[in-house]
Structure 1
Amino acid sequence: MAASVKTWCRFIAFIAANGLALFCVYLLVIEPSLGLLTRQQGEIEQRTRTLEQVRSVIARNRMIASIDPGQIEAAAQRFLQGDSESLLSADLLKRLRQAADEQGMALNSVALLPPREWFDRRLVGARIEFSGSTKNVVNVLSSIEHGSSLFFINNAKLSQARSPDGAAADDAVSAVIEVYGVTRWPES
């Protein structure tokens, strides 16, 4: 019986020693290796995202480089030009007069409106009055709203035009509109 207990004690000591050795190998070799592999995998994923961002920037820069400078200049001309409030207002009024002149109409009254802010952009405004045939008034409004300049009609009041004797004129419309133009981005 004493020999049997010694054998079992030796067997238990052998298992305990081997288990302790395996635990030490795990703590000293496997755990640090797994941590290193996990960190490297995280770095690879981060660098993959960075590489995709760099590829995106390169593709965007190639697209920008391929744009014709004339297109850039044409796009810039959609914004009101001028370095001061008075130059911006003058550019707005000039463009509004051109839109009316293209339809053979004259502006009856022009008044500047206070500037506005919209999505961190400055808008310069004017209130204009004009009258003419329905077709010409529609064409002027369309050229303002859908023309090459970035103009927005804020308020519009249309009414039947009156003749000098006070009678209603056939196919004549009087319009009072508030128009705002978008200024270009400040150069920094």
Structure 2
Amino acid sequence: MDTLLQALRPLSAPPEGPAWNHAEMNEWLGDQARLPAAVLLGIREGVQPRLVFTVRDARLPAHAGQVSFPGGRSEPQDADAVDTALRESEEEIGLNRALVKPLGFLDRFETISGYCVTPVVASIATEARLYPSPDEVAEVFEVPLTFLFDPANLRRYTMEFRGQQRPMAEFVHAGHRIWGATAAMLCNLLERMDRA
């Protein structure tokens, strides 16, 4: 856990400027403005710390059925990315923000859907109860950090997208496929920890 904490950007210095994959996304999106968003990489405390994921509802218009971190678009009333991540987590998985301790940030990430996402890493108290919002989330599940930190569980491959080859990464745990932006953010964490 100490290695993870040392890899994070401090809360006092949130990431600014272009995301780490900005040049790649410019090839797909051009110079259009990216919408601000934030996600919560919530680490459930305990003997075996676990990272919290959601499975998006199959009826959603975008990214239906995919595994993601709780989070979403920033709203005008949000004070900052931490506020966005906590508000969205409360809405999506019923996470009481009083039981969350923000720890730091990963590097920002741009998505093909036009968002610039700030990943907020936080610890979640053991007693926090999580339950999916039926309108947005089909399931909440947790994956041990030891699984995600084991290089044997990271699969890299290429995928054709709009006629071009894109490097991709994925993890598969207990029948859940973690890929796309979610896996890319996990890879950023591993790289910052010198584990990728």
TM class by shorter chain equals: under 0.3
How high is the TM-score relative to the length of structure 1?
A: 0.26
How high is the TM-score relative to the length of structure 2?
A: 0.25
- Give the number of the structure whose residues are more often strand, by fraction: 2
- Give the number of the structure whose residues are more often helix, by fraction: 1
